[in-house]
Structure 1
Amino acid sequence: MFTGIIEAVGTLTAIDRKGDDCRITVATQNLDMSDVKLGDSIATNGVCLTVVHFANDFYQADVSAETLKLTGFADYKNGSKVNLEKAMQVGGRLGGHIVSGHVDGVGEIDTIIDHIDYMEIWVKAPDELAKYIAHKGSITVDGTSLTVNKVDGARFMLWIIPHTVKETVIDTYQSGTRVNLEVDLIARYLERLLLGEKAAQPTSSKITEAFLAEHGYLK
């Protein structure tokens, strides 16, 4: 598990293809690697990856074909900057929100507006994720825990302070940049809880307006 508080910005220095999979090498820059062990997890642009080889200034991880398909890793190349966060430790501060490192979908940067003391960013999420994105709720963008400041359909807006821009890959964003999105875990559990006993039915069953009305969620 992670917190969405980025510890360092790394750089992809190698992408070695192995059939449909690949192994990446990440130069860790300022990330403290002194307590990292083989098999540890490091969130890399929000994707939980397992360390298979490392030294003081880099680590390697294998990226499956499924991960390449479902995240922005398919777009990355040598020199790409990535947000880095080691798995949180029990007893540590939870400065952001609970992040699993399992990407729900890939969004796209729509609009960036620079203000005097903050940056306004609009992101277009996949339509199927829109129901999980709420005003003042939490969302993870490339591994960074952020607060949703406005929602318009599948688009949502973020206010980013200068410190966050400086300490993450956000300063590399431009219109059209694809970003990894992970919605708030609580929203996913609430959706499942609403199913009640019907959760045991085949996954083809879905929450409908009729189901919500029957259980008093709609008037």
Structure 2
Amino acid sequence: MSASTAAGGARLKKPSWKDPRLIIGILLVLASVAGVIAVVGAADQTAEAYTAREAIAVGETLSADKLDRVKVRLGEVEQHYLTPATGVPDGLVAVQRIGKDQLLPRGSFGRPDGLDRKPVAVTVEEALPEQAVAGSRVDVWVALPDTRNGFSQPALLLPGAEIARITPGSTALGSARSTVVMVLVTDGQMPNLLGAQANKAKISVVWNPGGVKR
């Protein structure tokens, strides 16, 4: 047998299971597969969380019958939301509006005595702009009655007030249907608004597209 034939036979020899290079290759493949499985498993981890079955207005009491359960990937921010794992604490009210099907941030709920805004019913006679919906911001203008059976120049009373809810008002004979707008009012703004209502002021609501509290 020639030297070249011997060398070719050596090259074509099947590797042994005891070959360190083969063992290292198998271990690397197994490690790669395990890593991929771990990454996919971690990405697919979901947890149960609460969402609002219907919109929850500011001041509304939180209860389990107003919530639905969903599977979501919250990851590291899970502690910032109300979940079935932690339950629904008693006596909480919404301090921020929660829209339908939205998750419930813990910071959106608190105790009733911690509310810095309270809903007040404002009746308006004119049609509201379509953008004026619950959660949007509006400017509330008032015109006080004058001595000539009319009204004085309107003045801006509540800039950038948030709408909590809108409901149809009563219909007087021969007049258009009014609308009751629940606006969120701070304690500092409350006397002026209640005083205007007590003095039969004409109240108008203007959509504030920037949501600015001037």
Taking structure 2 as the reference length, the TM-score comes to 0.27
**Greater strand share, 1 or 2?**
1
Larger radius of gyration: 2
